[in-house]
A and B are shown apart, each in its own frame.
Chain A
């Protein structure tokens, strides 16, 4: 290794604690990106694995547009010349006694073997028992099941066992391999029909077709036929907005990481400036200096990236679970396995660390290349340049802000354009940081002078004088704090909007059944209706279907009851909108309206049991149940269109003046529990929804915390840079009689000032960021309006975080001061 390079690299072990501090900062930035990206990828891969595994060799599926289809069609399907093979399927959720939910497939083992042959590598339980005997008991025992390898491991299944479920004990006859991430239980289709009270019905038929067009021609009316590819795309499409938001969060973390690396690299430039001057005077050329510098920041990038990769891997263990439960709560059940260890994770981390180091190190490298050896040797720092640079950066910031503004006002622009605008906005204000600081400086100086006396005045001057270093650290910290405020305000507003929405739609006293699993028998609904004194029993059905080949939800409601008890938030009009629904019209959610550009008075066409049916859109309502769009119609219209009488849940409404209120609610509860149906009060349902909401944003919160940690190291690095850069100055302070405590106080106030300035700016920037997230990103991603609810809490929490983080960041530099200040002399060497 060349000695020039060696002279730079030796700084790493010589200033070990500082190198470690820098390393941790880089590692945190990389960990955030690796953790988030890998978790998102794992979740999505697990999802596509599950789809692929369950698809098996089938080429198509056929099902009713909504709800189960009649078993009678099977013989006709079997006779169709385009059908090479078929397998009827019951596809449901099974809740275990411990509360976990697994997927249950009801299949005909003789037909299904051709579609999903890999499942049938069954290991039957029980020693010495013949396979045939076991197979027979699987077919004859009504509660017989096969479980997959995941469940076997989870429940430590031995020779014979029972799986305890909310539908009673099920007898495990054997296990089968399952390479997908989702736990699976197999049951004979006849027994599954009985278990779910679906006698005569099946959920879908998996098909191997040899002529798609002929088949669609014959079966297209009243059925949904999807190829495997279409089915996969439909499910993938459901996750699109979710995935996009995860990617954006990772990028924000990376952005803060790049700021930090810039800071780190700038620190290296500062510490090596004099050495650069010496080397240049000895005849080293720019290339040799560049190589030495790059080696140093790349080593930090490599090591920090490798540690970040490792940290990111551990982060995936937490994030994957969070992601899985978020996707399960919002879209469909998914339990992704955390990513398996691979040395590639470290390699990816190294790549990211180096890439980000190069990106963050580009400007400092430029500064190093331009280092004037004469100035460097004389120890002169061009202070007037700081203000000039800040003004130049500010001008750039204004241009970036202007371009971002254009991106926001572009009509009908994609959400990616919105994200680009948000990133532009963050970059723009970061570039303006120096200029804004210069404007605020006189006030800050006066304030710090009053609060901190001489130390305060010196500290204020130092930050101003070293704006080139401090400006970047403050910008990075400001971005993190703004992210914290912006995301908190957005989440808070979203939560408040959700509470408002729940109050408009979920106003029942009791809810029986769960939308995503249990179905409420129709006779139970009739039984409850017959109870005297109940104001209204509301039947609710919610199903997934396709509109313009895109997955949407259709809900069946009783418009008379809702008109009386609910207070829907309409975009236009009021409760009179229900009259049109009673007459066969539909109301659509705001997300549906925006997604498909459908307005009041338009007509939409849905595939019904008898073919396409047209519906007039009566009104649009605010809704947060699904970003994919919801069409709501009266139950009579629904049954007429889809022939599906099933119910997901029923809502019980009791008039407030009803004297037997408690008694009636108790009676309904008793009857529901007798049938094994889950019962929740309105407020419990509200709470459940809020829990799902909070769970969904757990990832956002964790990313926000990482961004603050990364920025914390940025402030610490900047303070250290100031300390090292001004060691000669400290010699003068010492000669003038500044005590160690006073110099430490200067550093503490510098940290506090940087934190304070960053926080003051982040209040404005964070609020604008929140508005952009609410009015641009959410609207374009999810097609729903979030109402802005101002709250002091995010600002208070972020303010306290800023002060604590900036004080914390000063600890190490202060420790250095206590250790070295008493020996500092007014000399250069």
Chain B
């Protein structure tokens, strides 16, 4: 049996709100294998985004351990976590989070530059793959929501990361566009062999997942497959 690409052990994350401790994650345990496509369901405030931020090394846990490709994030240090995000992680956000001052091409090329692979052809190919050929010179505000999310996908996949974290990738899109985006995302992950973790409110997203998890009050629970859920 292959080693999990992400292993989370007894993960806790607490915040202080008005002097009171509030736990977003309460002893979460999780193992994700390479190539899995996971839908992480949960209500707002259930801890999905917190979990993503912790996996990406943007935030640090109060207690517990996160291993990505066998490396403990805590021991990596800030520099190591930054390098991890550059090389192995792709991030897709609900509100796209494109840099408004950069063109479509530059937004994608930025990922390559940070990963120390400044090859323009890779960025152009990625944009072609997401169907944005010819729109490379446009700025984000000149694109529709769906197009902006395509750029975000191109930015995430262009450096061929082993893990893609998509936080509500269709949350800001209409159903048709959302489905197109999810199809694109899953197809590209299949092609590159990347592990995809999608945080979502919507059970429809589960159609594109190979494994479904549910977050309830800071804990991760295993769900049935989409087929079973649908019936």
**Which residues of A are at the interface with B, using a C-beta cutoff of 8 A?**
2-4, 6-11, 14, 274-275, 277-286, 288, 373-374, 377-378, 827-829
A4 to B155, CA, bound (A): 14
Nearest CB of A to B152, in Å: 10
Minimum CB–CB distance for A829 against chain B, Å: 5
Q: How far is the CA of A746 from the CA of B140 in the complex (A)?
A: 31
Q: Would you call B170 an interface residue if the criterion is a C-beta within 8 Å of the partner chain's C-beta atoms? A: no
With CB as the reference atom, state the residue of chain A lying closest to B156.
Answer: A282
CB atoms of B140 and A285 under 8 A apart: no
- Which of B78, B93, B101 is the one whose CB lies under 8 Å from A10? B101
- Least CB distance, A369 to chain B, in whole angstroms: 11
B207 within 8 A of A: no
Q: Residue B208 at the A interface, CB < 8 A?
A: no
Known: A282-B85, A283-B82. A3 touches B95 (CB 8 A): no
Is the beta-carbon distance between B58 and A3 smaller than 8 angstroms? no
Residue in chain A with minimal CB distance to B89: A283
Flag if B140 contacts A829 (CB, 8 Å).
Answer: yes
How far does the Cβ of B112 sit from chain A's closest Cβ, in whole Å?
A: 9
Answer yes or no: B102 CB below 8 A from chain A CBs: yes
Q: Which 6 A-B pairs have the closest CB atoms?
A: A283-B86, A10-B101, A283-B85, A828-B95, A3-B110, A7-B99
Find out whether the CB atom of B58 lies under 8 angstroms from the CB atom of A373.
yes
Q: A14 CA to B97 CA in the complex, in Å?
A: 18
Measured CA separation A277–B93 after assembly (Å): 12
Complex: A827 Cα to B85 Cα, angstroms: 27
By beta carbon, the residue of chain B nearest A829 is B95
- Cross-chain contact A2 with B101 (CB below 8 angstroms): no
Bitwise, B55-76 to A at CB < 8 A (1) or not (0) is 0101100000000000000000
Docked Cα-Cα span, A829 to B111, in Å, equals 20
> With A3-B110, A7-B101, A374-B59 in contact, do A282 and B95 touch (Cβ < 8 Å)?
no
Q: Determine if A14 and B101 form an interchain contact, defined as CB atoms under 8 angstroms apart.
A: yes
Is A374 a contact of B95 with CB atoms below 8 Å? no
Q: Does B46 contact A (CB under 8 A)?
A: no
Known interface pairs A282-B110, A283-B85; 19 further A-B residue pairs with C-beta atoms within 8 A, sorted by A's residue number = A3-B102, A3-B113, A4-B114, A6-B106, A7-B102, A9-B101, A10-B102, A14-B101, A274-B97, A280-B82, A281-B58, A282-B155, A283-B83, A283-B114, A283-B115, A284-B114, A378-B49, A827-B172, A829-B148
Cβ–Cβ < 8 Å partners of A278 in chain B: 97-99
Q: List 19 A-B contacts (CB under 8 A).
A: A6-B101, A8-B101, A274-B97, A278-B98, A278-B99, A280-B58, A280-B82, A281-B56, A281-B97, A282-B86, A282-B91, A283-B84, A284-B82, A286-B78, A374-B53, A374-B58, A378-B49, A827-B95, A829-B148
Say whether A829 contacts B91, CB under 8 Å. no
Q: Is B231 an interface residue (CB 8 A)?
A: no
B109 within 8 Å of A by Cβ? yes
Whole-angstrom distance between the alpha carbons of A11 and B91 in the complex?
Answer: 24
- Assuming the contacts A282-B91, A285-B79, asked whether A377 and B97 have C-beta atoms less than 8 A apart, the reply is yes
Q: Is the CB of A282 within 8 A of B106?
A: no
- Cα A16 to Cα B182 in complex, Å, equals 38
Question: Which residues in B have their C-beta under 8 angstroms from that of A288?
Answer: 114
Q: Using a Cβ–Cβ cut-off of 8 Å, how many residues does chain B contribute to the interface with A? A: 35
Distance from A827 Cβ to chain B, minimum over Cβ atoms (Å) = 7
Q: Which residue of B lies closest to A8 (CB)?
A: B101
A275 and B91 alpha carbons, distance in the complex (Å): 14
Best-surrounded residue of B49, B59, B78, B85 (most CB of chain A within 10 A):
B85
**CB-based contact A2/B148 at 8 Å:** no
Contact among A279, A377, A828 for B99, CB-based, below 8 A: A279
Contacts A373-B58, A378-B49, A829-B140; A282 near B101 (Cβ below 8 A): no
Q: Does B96 contact A (CB under 8 A)?
A: yes
Q: Whose C-beta in chain A lies nearest to the C-beta of B101?
A: A10
CB-defined contacts of A378 to chain B, threshold 8 Å: 49
B50 → A minimal CB distance (Å): 8
CB distance from B53 to the nearest CB of A (A): 5
Q: Give the docked Cα–Cα distance between A11 and B139 (Å).
A: 13
Chain B 143-171, CB-CB to A under 8 Å as 1, else 0, gives 00000100000010000000000000000
Residues B93 and A377 in contact, CB atoms below 8 Å apart: yes
Q: Which residues of A contact B148 (CB under 8 A)?
A: 829
State the CA gap A448–B83 with chains docked (Å): 51
Complex interface: chain A residues within 8 A of B97 (CB): 274, 277-278, 281, 377, 829
Chain B interface mostly helix, strand, loop or mixed?
helix
Residue of B nearest to A284 (CB): B114
Q: Which residue of chain A has the shortest Cβ distance to B161 in the bound complex?
A: A283
Q: In the bound complex, do residue B91 and residue A281 qualify as a contact, i.e. CB atoms below 8 Å apart?
A: yes
Min CB distance, B206 to chain A, in Å? 25
Q: Is the CB of B110 within 8 A of A4?
A: yes
B101 near A11: Cβ-Cβ < 8 Å: yes
Give the residues in chain B near A828, CB-CB below 8 Å. Answer: 95
Bound state CA distance, A554 and B53, in angstroms? 81
| Residue numbers in A under 8 Å from B106 (CB-CB) | 3, 6-7
Please determine whether B82 and A285 come into contact, CB atoms closer than 8 angstroms.
Answer: yes
Contacts of A280 in B (CB 8 A): 58, 82, 85
Report the Cα distance A378→B97, complex, angstroms. 11
Minimum C-beta distance from A10 to chain B (A): 3
Task: Tell me the bound Cα distance from A505 to B84 in angstroms.
Answer: 83
Shortest Cβ distance from B104 into chain A, in angstroms? 13
User: What is the CA–CA distance of A278 and B152 in the complex, to the nearest angstrom?
Assistant: 11
Q: For B102, give the chain A residue with the smallest CB separation.
A: A7
A193, B111: Cα distance in complex, Å: 87
Q: With A and B bound together, what is the CA distance between A827 and B79 in angstroms?
A: 33
Return B170 CB to nearest CB of chain A, in Å: 15
> For residue A15, which residue of chain B has the nearest CB?
B101
Indicate the member of A2, A277, A281, A282 with the most B CB atoms within 10 Å: A282
Contact A6:B58 (CB < 8 A) given known A282-B85, A828-B95: no
Complex Cα gap A346–B98 (Å): 38
Asked if residues B140 and A282 are in contact (CB atoms below 8 Å), the reply is no
* CB within 8 Å of A: which B5-64 residues: 49, 53, 56, 58-59
Q: Using Cβ atoms and an 8 Å threshold, which residues of chain B touch A274?
A: 97
Q: In the complex, which residues 88-140 of chain B have their Cβ closer than 8 Å to any Cβ of chain A?
A: 89, 91, 93, 95-102, 106, 109-111, 113-115, 140
Which has the most chain B C-beta neighbours within 10 Å: A6, A9, A283, A829?
A: A283
B96 adjacent to A829 (CB under 8 Å): yes
Write out the residue numbers on chain A whose beta carbons fall within 8 Å of the beta carbon of B82: 280, 283-285
A2 touches B113 (CB 8 A): yes
Q: How far is the CA of A3 from the CA of B104 in the complex (A)?
A: 12
Contacts of B102 in A (CB 8 A): 3, 6-7, 10
Chain B residues near A373 (CB, 8 Å)? Answer: 58
CA distance A6 to B79 in the complex (A): 23
A373 to B91, CA, bound (A): 13
Closest-CB distance, A388 to chain B (whole angstroms): 13
Query: In the complex, what residues of A have CB within 8 A of residue B111's CB?
Result: 282-283
Interface pair A7/B110, CB less than 8 Å apart? yes
* A3→B115 CA distance, assembly (Å): 12
* Chain A residues, CB < 8 A from B93: 377
Q: Which of A4, A278, A279, A827 has the most CB of B within 10 A?
A: A278
Cβ-defined contact, A275 with B83, below 8 A: no
CA of A828 to CA of B102, assembled, Å: 17
Question: A6 CA to B99 CA in the complex, in Å?
Answer: 10
Q: Which of B84, B89, B99 gathers most chain A CB within 10 Å? A: B99
Q: How far does the alpha carbon of A283 sit from the alpha carbon of B172 in the complex, in Å? A: 24
Distance between Cα atoms of A281 and B109 in the complex (Å): 15
The answer for the CA separation of A10 and B78 in the assembled complex, in Å, is: 28
Alpha-carbon gap, A278 to B114, bound state (A): 13
Q: Which residues of B contact A284 (CB under 8 A)?
A: 82, 114
C-alpha gap A281/B96 in the complex (Å):
12
Bound: A6/B87 CA distance, A: 21
Distance from A824 Cβ to chain B, minimum over Cβ atoms (Å): 14
* B106 nearest CB neighbor, chain A only: A3
Q: How far is the CB of A377 from chain B (nearest CB, A)?
A: 7
Contacting residues, chain A, for B49 (C-beta < 8 A)? 378
Hey, which chain B residues are within 8 Å of A14, CB to CB? 100-101
A317 to chain B, nearest CB (A): 40
Q: Measured between alpha carbons, how far is A4 from B86 in the docked complex, in Å?
A: 13
Residue of A nearest to B53 (CB): A374
